[in-house]
Amino acid sequence: MTLGTRRPARQATQRKRQAPKAAPENSAAPDDLVTIERLSHDGRGVARDASGKTIFVDGALAHEQVRIRRHRQRGRFDEAHVVEIERASRDRVTPECQHIEVCGGCTLQHLAIDAQRRFKQQVLSEHLAREGVNAPESDIIAAAPYGYRRRARLGVKVDSKGAVRFGFRRANSERLFDISECPVLEPELNALLEPLKRQLEQLAAPRLVGHVELLHSATTTLRVHQLKAHADDQARWQRFAEDQQISLEFSARQGSATLSNNAASARLMHYPLQAGEQQLDIGFKPGDFIQVNGQVNQALVSRVLALLNESDCTRVLDLFAGVGNFSLPLAANGFQVRAIEGSDTMVQRLLDNASASGLAISAEAQDLNHAPSTADIDAVVLDPPRDGAQAVASALALEGPRWIAYVSCNPATLSRDARILQEGGYRLTQLSLVDMFPHTAHLESLSLFVRH
């Protein structure tokens, strides 16, 4: 929950851990020394000044004593950043990324990973409690905290002096910073960052590149998004793809074209998914939605299968089904699956994936702002976007099946929908924090609701 615009974190010094920097003369006001009471839901430290006014502090951890500088004052609260750490938390660690001071992506790298997950469990619990939902203690579905991200979008900008800037956006800014590494990217993608920067500097018209996308599954694909096509640079990109042994897709606003260093890039990409005894290859196009963390996605799918295998259900309705991330493993485990997705393209992709795996799945496109029928259904699996599934939850509360497995990427809308289901006679019996994005305040979850 963002309570105000943040600015990039500043370098903080720790007494007794490293030599303190001299504080600027204007930072010595007595109320600049504060004790952090807790973390807000977006991962900032929360403190109060001598007058009792709330201060949100970038880069601070619970129970730390820090010297701060305020960079934004509002009516009900101020925003600040750490200048010096007087007393550090036991959970403070040194971030692995050299860009932590400017990048807005991984705002919790200074918090130990176990403490990050405990914090997210607490946030999830607080959201549910606020809605009056009776929830069990959550367990954790997680994997490696670094090298997990299999897709990235990086901006390209040429400054007034002709220098190419290539990287992510600065925190709460449209400005780019030059990136040389990103330890949360899968190693194959991280290794491409410096070669990509050199490639951009060698183009005849780098100003025509809007951004690039990297995506890794069984192979690596580079998507170059041009503001306007440029034939000579198109050939340069082709040679780059051949040298790096990656697939290439090239698009421009005035039409589009696909280049490839081999025939494989003209086909779907695939990511592997283990479904019990069967290994599935889930086909997708680079523009399709897939979970960015492959390891955690596998663990999440396995947990959903385990939950439903423990029930006596056979007929499952998969809502917001996408390319078949849950539908295909469910069908491979012997469930009768009916899948619904809002996009005709995704429905066709799901059916093609089912056919390629020899699986029988019924799939159709429907507007899921209106609840589908659940007649002759034993269980529902739903994985909605951040807005949640209020219409679906309201319909299920009236006449839903016994089991509902709800995968959420937003604890606020999950809690709202959970309250609706609870009022309709469901009980939240199992809850898991899904740490899909380590080092960020973003959290996902898996909830099992049972009607009694």
The Cα–Cα gap between 301 and 434 comes to: 11
Task: Please calculate the CA angle 353-357-359 and round it to the nearest 5 degrees.
Answer: 90
Tokens matching residue 98: 């050299």
CA distances from 55 to 32, 62, 67 (A): 11, 13, 12
Given 103, 106, 182, 409, the catalytic residue? 409
Tally of CB atoms within 10 A around 312: 10
* Residue 202 identity (one-letter amino acid): Q
Cβ atoms of 319 and 312 within 8 Å: the answer is no
CA angle 442, 444, 448 (to 5 degrees): 160
- C-beta pairs of 183-186 under 8 Å, 24+ apart in sequence: 183/96, 183/97, 183/146, 183/147, 184/97, 184/105, 184/106, 184/146, 184/147, 184/148, 184/149, 184/438, 184/439, 185/147, 185/149, 185/152, 185/214, 186/147, 186/148, 186/149, 186/150, 186/216
Token duo for residue 385: 């976007």
Please choose, from the candidates 200, 254, 199, the residue with its C-alpha nearest in 3D space to the C-alpha of residue 228.
254
Examine the residue annotation and report whether 409 is marked as an active-site residue of this protein: yes
Which long-range contacts (C-beta less than 8 Å, at least 24 apart) are formed by 47-50?
A: 49/78
Could you give the CA distance from residue 115 to residue 92 in angstroms, rounded to a whole number? 9
Would you please indicate which residues are annotated as catalytic (active-site) residues?
Answer: 409
